[in-house]
Amino acid sequence: MGTIALILVVVFVLLLVMNVPIAVSIALATFFAILADGMDPTIVVAAKMANGVNSFALLAIPFFILSGHLMGRGGMARRLIDFAGTLVGFLPGGLAYVNTLTCMLFGSISGSAGAAVSSVGGFMIPEMNRKGYNREFNVAVTTTAATTGLLIPPSNVMIVYSVAAGSVSIAAMFMAGILPGIVMGLFIMLVCGGFAFKKKYACEERSNIKEILISFKRAFLSLFLIVVVIGGILAGIFTATEAAAIAVVYAFFLTVVVYREIPLKEISGLLLQTGITTAVVMLLIGASSGMSWIMTMANIPQTVSAALIGLSNNPIVILLTINVLLLCVGTFMDMTPAILIFTPIFLPVVTSLGMHPVHFGIIMIANLCIGLCTPPVGTCLFIGCGVGNTTIAKVTKTMLPFFGSMIVALMVITYIPATSLWLPVQSKQLKKVDVEKCKFMKMKEEPMVDVLSTAK
Cα→Cα distances 314→91, 360, 383, 437, 441, Å: 43, 17, 40, 19, 8
Q: Is residue 344 reached through a cis peptide bond, with omega within 30 degrees of 0 on the bond before it?
A: no
pLDDT in tens, 290-316: 888 888 888 777 787 778 777 777 888
As a dihedral over the C-alpha atoms of residue 275, residue 278, residue 284, residue 286, rounded to 10 degrees, the angle is: -90
Return the closest-CA partner of residue 60 out of 174, 142, 140, 195: 174
Residues in Cβ contact with 28 at an 8 Å cutoff, skipping those fewer than 6 apart: 11, 15, 20
Which pTM does this prediction carry?
A: 0.86
Angle between helices 156-165 and 357-371 (to 10 degrees): 130
pLDDT in tens, 161-219: 998 888 788 889 999 999 999 999 999 999 999 988 888 887 878 888 998 999 999 88
Distance CA 53, CA 46 (A): 11
Residues in Cβ contact with 29 at an 8 Å cutoff, skipping those fewer than 6 apart: 7, 8, 9, 11, 12, 15, 291
Host domain of residue 116: 2-454
b/e 268-295 (16+ beta carbons within 10 angstroms → b):
eebeebbeebbeebbbbbbbbbbbbbbb
**pLDDT lower than 70: segments of the chain:** 1, 440-456
Distance CA 364, CA 355 (A): 13
User: What does the pLDDT read at residue 442?
Assistant: 52
User: What does the pLDDT read at residue 449?
Assistant: 41
Distance CA 395, CA 383 (A): 12
With beta carbons less than 8 A apart as the criterion, state whether 79 and 219 touch. Answer: yes
Return the closest-CA partner of residue 175 out of 242, 216, 229, 245: 229
Distance CA 12, CA 23 (A): 10
Distance CA 363, CA 409 (A): 10
Number of domains in the chain: 1
